[in-house]
Structure 1
């Protein structure tokens, strides 16, 4: 799919991916009086305040983790438009496509164990699964699925624009793949770049075939439990409510700017599956990225593979996509490694510097406006670059 240049991996762009990116309009006049919770003099807090005072997002939350493990939390706006309740500190949110980094880490661990070959065809692990409309698993490698160079079409095209009709529907992973296979390849494998949620659904199926265990269990046992990510979990089949304290998430009822905002916190996340099903918190995501980049999850050779990026047409200079991991230049110099996620009214930007600082910012509405994307990206940059 074609990606927005400012945020090349944002799911809300290019119709096909709209199934996971439920774009939102600016706040209605009734929500324009939201007052941020300020901590004077704190650059990170001001960046979060800016997300809500502009009227784009009802609320926002963030966490910053220093190299020594110390963390600070931030909130702004309101966590619920009806009750005007505060945004819960370190609240749980659907992290959408940041799930891809977890899935990729599991695949790379299997590769490090000799159970998966990154340059082997998908056909080796999923015989006869990728067939239809010119798509052929014998021509697509595992690496190409991980870095979005497979040419796999997007399953979201089949249900894009029907969020409210399918909000509470459960999708089987193979159903998502079959929806994608009704379309022709976007390009010959390895000859282009296009963000594909379907590619990560296939990776989830591959993990299950190789291990004999559900992808959610593999992510839990290999990453969540060892790292002590107590607020991160894989929703069980049919689970639509978010466990524990969380800010509400909002979507425009019309899908256009100015539309009535509807609370869409409760939804079935199966449309994302291995590409976008996880629930987590800013603190847990920071801990995860710090551990991943610190070499606590992958062997050095596998982490090097993960950070080996390809260029993306239309992306900002210096931006690249690796194996489930993005590379973004920072305004203060250096790089941030991470990912973004947009689904069901939650928009999250998460990254870690090579110096060991990590940060996550989430807004509780998904913008239809390019300015909203830019504000979120700028907020993460500000938080990562801010001094203590």
Structure 2
């Protein structure tokens, strides 16, 4: 049973918006951060600072394959030892410890020969962005996304003091360094505004956005979640949801909260919805977002 309310905000292409999210509440964006990282990488591609299909130095995979989870890299998410360490509030692993734990599983397949979600891959993207710009990822996201869009609540999460300031009491004591690729925090409304700006043409050129939306079809329905068909684009989950048509965005989750931030382009007035709640079931937030998209 979800013991706390689901906080949501929605925006349509006609700039109607609403919701019931706390104006000053700060929430972890979790894997919705991947969408922000992807947009930054693609803006660097637009500026000819990065190449989408060139292999990373010394690696068998490209930026596109990392963005789309088709690199073959494994992940630490399935590892029980990782979740146990987080639950015990241990000191977060070093970069090398993360890599050693994940890579002990070996590469899962040759690049472009399959699909498997990998937070390790997004750490590589983060580091590529930082090496290219000479700026930590939080500063890059601020410079390229937050400041131009006026997303005043959004910040990079890297201290326990920030954890204590979050909406969910359970966040106190959580060390954000356990999120290997990094994590943003911000308001529910600003999460919706960020994704809405992407589909409103405010962040990427039309050709780059088309590249971002090109997707790998992953599979069919997922039990306990609204997906009837699912795929993954570049930093974006992309598929069909029951009653809502196409949904493009990202879900996220950590040890105490979940979210779903999606654009629904098939609605009569296309709408972007962000929903955040406590618990660990991403389906709760996804169903809430789909319901709002149907009702707006």
Same fold (TM over 0.5): yes
* 1:58 alignment partner in structure 2: 4
Q: Does 1:309 align with 2:215?
A: yes
* 1:218 alignment partner in structure 2: 140
Distance 1:168 1:59, change over 3 A: farther
* Equivalent-residue separation in structure 1 for 2:180 and 2:16 (angstroms): 32
Residue 340 of structure 1: how far off its partner (Å): 0.5
Q: Which has the larger radius of gyration?
A: 1
Distance 1:172 1:211, change over 3 A: farther
* 1:154 alignment partner in structure 2: 75
Q: Does 1:266 align with 2:266?
A: no
* Equivalent-residue separation in structure 1 for 2:172 and 2:5 (angstroms): 13
* 1:74 alignment partner in structure 2: 20
* 1:107 alignment partner in structure 2: 41
* Equivalent-residue separation in structure 1 for 2:291 and 2:261 (angstroms): 12
Distance 1:168 1:93, change over 3 A: farther
* 1:4 alignment partner in structure 2: none
* Equivalent-residue separation in structure 1 for 2:167 and 2:87 (angstroms): 20
* 2:246 alignment partner in structure 1: 335
Q: Of the candidates 118, 126, 132, which is equivalent to residue 204 of structure 1?
A: 126
Q: Which residues in structure 2 correspond to 1:108-257 (within 5 Å)?
A: 108-123=42-57, 127=58, 137=59, 139-156=60-77, 157=79, 158-165=81-88, 167=89, 169-236=91-158, 238-242=159-163, 246-248=166-168
Residue 171 of structure 1: how far off its partner (Å): 4.4
Contact 1:172 1:270 in 2 (8 A): no
Contact 1:168 1:267 in 2 (8 A): no
Between Structure 1 and Structure 2, how many residues are aligned? 286
* Equivalent-residue separation in structure 1 for 2:143 and 2:230 (angstroms): 32
CA RMSD of aligned residues (A): 2.2
Q: Secondary structure at the match of 2:201?
A: coil
Q: Does 1:96 align with 2:30?
A: yes
Any gaps of 5 or more consecutive residues in structure 1? 1-54, 76-87, 128-136, 250-262, 368-372
* Equivalent-residue separation in structure 1 for 2:87 and 2:244 (angstroms): 42
Distance 1:269 1:176, change over 3 A: same
Residue 243 of structure 1: how far off its partner (Å): 7.1
Any gaps of 5 or more consecutive residues in structure 2? 222-226
* 1:377 alignment partner in structure 2: 286
Q: Secondary structure at the match of 2:253?
A: strand
TM-score of the pair, normalised by structure 2: 0.88
Cα deviation digits, residues 266-312 of structure 1 (max 9, x gap): 311112143x5110221001110111111211111111011001011
Distance 1:229 1:242, change over 3 A: farther
* Equivalent-residue separation in structure 1 for 2:173 and 2:19 (angstroms): 25
Contact 2:10 2:272 in 1 (8 A): yes
* 1:6 alignment partner in structure 2: none
Residue 364 of structure 1: how far off its partner (Å): 1.4
Residue 172 of structure 1: how far off its partner (Å): 4.4
* Equivalent-residue separation in structure 1 for 2:74 and 2:219 (angstroms): 17
* Equivalent-residue separation in structure 2 for 1:375 and 1:217 (angstroms): 32
